[in-house]
A and B are shown apart, each in its own frame.
Chain A
Amino acid sequence: MIPRPHVDWFALAPELMLLGAMGFALMGAVLLPKENRRDFGALSAAIGFTGAFVYAVVIYVHTPEPQSVIADSVTRDRFGALAQVMICGAGLLVVGVAYANRMRDEHVAEFYALLAAAGAGMCFLVTANNLMTLFLGLEWFSIALYILCAIDSQLEGSLEAGLKYLIIGGFGSAVLLFGSALVYGATGELAFNQIADAVSAQHLSGDALLVGGLAMMIVGLGFKASAAPFHQWTPDVYEGAPTPVTAFMSAATKVTALVLMLRVLRTAFPQEAHLWTIAVAAIACASLAVGNLSALVQRNVKRMLAYSSISQAGFMLIPIASNNELGARALLFYLIPYAAMSVGAFAVITARERELAAPVTLDNLAGMGWERPLLGVAMGMFMFGFAGLPPTGGFVGKFYAFSAAYEHGWTWLVIVGVVATAVSLYYYLAVVRAMYMRPASELQLGAVPVAGGAPPRDALLQTSVVLALGVTLATFFAVQPLIDVAKHAASALPF
């Protein structure tokens, strides 16, 4: 009989909560009459994300020391729990954003089921502690996201986005899997900490198989984090996918991929740090260059934000490349306002899309700041936050990220980051310019189909935007408590 490991169900509570929500939403899709499916699905997903959020908080509180559970395949620690909190928070906001979206009614409950499933996969992935659970979690949330991207088949580009994401994401996963296999081949171990032990016990540091595997794993995770040069799918997928899905991808996927990258690199490959710090720094610089320069020329706001998310990935790779405790703290802190700003920004775009029934460009944003003061102010603050201007958490996050690079002794990386920030200001402020400084009457919009009449008020979407705005601003003022949380979470990693 195969020995059955002891299962710490509590460590899996967030995932189980979300899987339960998925099951409920799916049953609703089958059993309930059409008109109730949307409400039921949204409610299930909302309850699932809320419950998972609460469980993650409880796990955070009750796990001062990291524990390996379920035969060392999963870690229960504050690092993962904090990432789960961010993922579930982003998911909850996305439910609010998506609720009023014109989704084909027969698929609406499946949409929420998939959202919960993707959230569960991400929550699982950030606690992964061996190469198997790593790949399992990665595929789990990726497959859910492939479908989510393609779910709105009425939307031009949605299917294309799903297919592109599937093919390129599949390629990324394959590279990651190949890398994992090489690492396993080199060390004979699956669990991250045992890989590190085996490397030091067998003096494998610098071994070609191991380094090759490490490089391929970085590439595979780079695909998920949409870091250059593995970013090619990002603009098309972000633009084509339904905007609430884009919001979820840009916030939660980024959290997952970056947190996991830090965990893998730090736990499994501490001996190779002299190699991967440089590799990650190079990827960061490439992402900053590609993301910022490409974003400068975009007119479509979703596409511009896609490139901006590439450059943001670059900013958040800087603390990973720094390979120090301050860097881990910086990454975890930065992700909080970043996730809020991403969801918020795409939520505003969702609202504008609904109003115009057309893709949002810099031209048809004109006058929005005056017509919809709440959304306009919020969008402005999100843009300021992305650009790292006070009074937003983005400023503090960037400050910490640069501080980490300086502490590592890489002042040049600080300079690169600062230059990239200067470039990024141009396109972030272009959104503010478009919303406030060019009255709609000044533009020849031509045949843009305006939905007409007073714009529909969407209380749930506005609540999500207000919450995201609150997080963006609060992370500027209440730095100390959040940085303490990030510090405790970072202490779960072996530095």
Chain B
Amino acid sequence: MAWLTTAMILLPLAGALLVWVFPWDNFTAGAIALLVALAEVGVWIECLVRFDFNQGGLQLDQQTSWFSDLHVSYHVGMYGFSLWLVGLTVVVQAATIAYAFWARRTGARAYFGLMLLLTAAIVGVFTAQDLLLFYVFWEAMLLPLYVLIGVWGGPGRLGATIKFVIYTMAGSLLMLAAVIVLGLSQGTFDLTASWQSSSDWLFLGFVAAFAVKAPLFPLHGWLPDAYRESPPEVSAVLSGVVSKAAIYGFIRIAITKFPEPTKDFRTVILVLAAIGLVYGSLLAFRAPDVRGVIAYSSLAQLGLITFGVFAVNDLGLNGAVLQMVNHGLISAALFLLAGGIERRAATGEFARLGGMARGRPVLATVLMTTGVIALAVPGSAAFAGEFAILAGVFTRGWGYAVVGAVAIVLAAMYMLRLISAVLHREPGPAVTPAALDLRPAELAAIVPLLACLLALSVWPAAITERSFTGNRAGAEIGAQFGGKP
């Protein structure tokens, strides 16, 4: 069943071509895209069923030579944690496409084609087992995002796209240089081959690309603009899924292939992550609008996840994978809700919002549930993830765990501020009684995300015990990826 991974990349690609080539009307184009996205979820479930978690290692993999003189191949496959991240991608993409379908985006053929293309590229990043192929998918993520933000974004979209592209391309091109040097010096671009490098410069080349895309402090300059100016569902993909591609890169390439530099730079990266965590939380607490809170909370959460990854031990890595899925679902749901609020009030500014709970019980319930999970209330999936991360990073220094714990308090503060500013207080000037409650179509996009979160809250071990072979992430991370099982 090796072709299943390839099918997951080709299906949205084929869907994109189908939408682009034929002159569908807006409704049909959206419907086709939604069907393809749902079919993609179906294929993923098939992968999940066929994946042997006991065996672990690289599965459903397929390799074909692309050009042999430099030993570059089309090699895709999934590890346990890639499988969960691909799952996150397809679920979030189905939700965002459903939301866009309901929101009736103009230029539907171009729009939905690009969304499907983006899906294919992200799935490709999570499954590529060849350095150059990884880079190709990595860049392929940028193009649809660039157009999606630039065409369908808000009034400040041109500035936002320029910032976004300059930041991400500066990072990715450093990665390209590192890819070339690394691949040629190793004699192969295959990631499953058992080579490791001890070059600090190459490590930094990769880290630059990942740190911009995540983003990590201080490379987050593009984040507020991009998250504010994008259409809400594109923001959902950006913060929910695309940022996870960066963390995936940290796990799959940075710490796996560069064990020595990882040790050398661990303190630097952990400190930057800690700063990002606190700084992002504080900015989120001070942000004047809904999207600002979610955007900066995203910066904070990615700092936390980076904690887990660079702890490089079982607890930390397992917690990081769980928290990646959690945060992806949470921030996608929150951005879609933010989109819903902005549609009703024509603004996301707290000063003009308020009192939306009255007469809108469904909106209140959904926003409250998402918010409470986001602030990691005990018993929620996010609590499990953050707990594992903090326990993991504790072994690298108790100071990090303290910063993390403080940030969880800050998370409660900004999330409750968001909830209260939107739902409670007196009705704001932008909230008219005519603004409806959440529509069934919006619920259909958001509730599945919440359902996944609730399921993970009940059973977080589904991910934490099924991400790495034999649930031994840190101890054998080098050996894990060094060669095919």
Q: Which residues of A contact B (CB under 8 A)?
A: 326, 329, 370, 384, 389-391, 395-396, 399-400, 402-403, 406-407, 411, 414-415, 418-419, 421-422, 425-426, 429, 432-433, 436-438, 479-480, 483, 487
Contacts and interface: CB of A to CB of B under 8 A. Distances in A.
Contacts of A400: 70
Nearest to B142: A389
A432 B169 contact: no
Given A418-B173, A425-B165, A480-B66, A391 B180 contact: no
Given A390-B139, A436-B147, A436-B150, A414 B181 contact: yes
A135 to B, nearest CB: 36
B176 A418 contact: yes
B32 interface: no
Given A402-B176, A411-B181, 12 more contacts: A326-B69, A403-B70, A415-B177, A418-B177, A421-B173, A422-B169, A425-B169, A426-B162, A433-B158, A433-B161, A436-B147, A436-B151
Nearest to A419: B173
B74 to A, nearest CB: 10
Contacts of B69: 326, 329, 483, 487
Main secondary structure on A side of the interface with B: helix
A389 B157 contact: no
A389 B177 contact: no
B22 interface: no
Contacts of B146: 429, 432
Interface of B: 65-70, 107, 132, 136, 139-140, 142-143, 146-147, 150-151, 157-158, 161-162, 165-166, 169-170, 173-174, 176-177, 180-181, 184
Nearest to A402: B180
Contacts of A437: 147, 150-151, 157-158, 161
A411 B107 CA distance: 45
A117 B354 CA distance: 75
Contacts of B132: 399
Nearest to A483: B67
B82 to A, nearest CB: 21
A389 B143 contact: yes
Contact of B67 (A370, A390, A433, A480): A480
B170 A406 contact: no
A131 to B, nearest CB: 34
Nearest to A422: B173
B180 A399 contact: yes
Given A391-B140, A403-B70, A483-B67, A432 B177 contact: no
Contacts of A406: 180-181, 184
Most chain A beta carbons < 10 A, residue from B139, B140, B170: B139
A19 to B, nearest CB: 37
B166 to A, nearest CB: 7
A400 B150 CA distance: 31
Contacts of B65: 480
14 contacts: A329-B69, A389-B139, A390-B139, A391-B140, A402-B176, A403-B184, A411-B177, A414-B181, A419-B173, A422-B166, A429-B146, A429-B165, A433-B150, A483-B67
A429 B158 CA distance: 11
A395 B133 CA distance: 12
Contacts of A411: 177, 181
B97 to A, nearest CB: 20
Contact of B170 (A384, A396, A415, A422): A422
B207 to A, nearest CB: 16
A411 B177 CA distance: 9
Contacts of A421: 173, 176
